Every structure is written in structure tokens, then in C-alpha cells.
Amino acid sequence: MDPVTQNVNQNIEELLNSLVDECLQAPGFANLTPEQKQVMAGQIQDHFTDVALEVLVDKLDEAQFSQIENLEPGSPEMIEKIQTLAGQVPGLSDDLEAKLRRDIEYIKQNAKLPETPA
């Protein structure tokens, strides 16, 4: 992996980790044990990855979708491709940020993940 790609992946990972930490600072999580916080952090991280994929897939055309459909969710390759496509898909970054902010506020207020439609 080239240094630029590695830096981008590290920045995305750091951003997601900081968003997870922001959620876990909410009063509703104050009484969790360190083990419970670690489990919740993993669940929040997985949720944010799912949100990113959902927003991305909704905005992609067929050719763009074919670039990611066989990648492992949350993998470095997926993160790299999301970052690349974010610059190519108008409004993707704004839509993703808006959705993540809504979910962060929900998590902080309710101390649980938002319900996902079946």
C-alpha cells in the first residue's frame, strides 16, 4: 500500500474511532464496565461501517457499484475505495456526514444503536 493510501486509511480509521469515542462519552454509557464499553465500541464501529456502505451504495451507479460489490465490508480495500469514490460521487461526503451525525446524536441520547429497517 502506498503511503498516501495508508495515510487516508489511517485518517478514516481515526475519524471513526473518534466518533465512537464521542458516543461512548455520553452519560448513558458512564456505568458500563470497560469490557462492556469495548463490546459497545465494536457494535458502534460496525454500525458506522454499515452506514457508510448504505449511503455509498445509494449514490453509486452500476459501474461504481461493481468496484465495491465483492470487497469485504470494513476492509482496508473497502475503506480505500470508499474514499476514492467519495471524491467522485457528488454529495456523498455531505450525505455521509449528515447520516453519521444523526446516528451519533441518537446513540448519545439513547445509549443504544438506532433501529435498522428489516
Per-residue pLDDT tens over the stretch 82-103? 778 777 778 877 888 899 999 9
Q: Per mean pLDDT, which range of 1-5, 8-12, 37-41 is the poorest?
A: 1-5
pLDDT tens digit string along 12-46? 677 888 999 999 999 999 999 999 999 999 999 98
- Let me know if residue 116 belongs to a domain: no
Confirm whether 42 is domain-assigned: yes
Residue 117 lies in a domain: no
Nearest to 79 by CA among 96, 91, 98: 96
At residue 64's C-alpha, the angle toward residues 81 and 52, to 5°, is 50
- This prediction has a pTM of 0.76
Grid cell in block for residue 89: 460521487
The tally of domains found in the chain comes to 1
Q: ∠ CA(13), CA(25), CA(37), 5° rounding?
A: 75
- Domain hosting 77: range is 3-110
Domain-embedded: residue 118? no
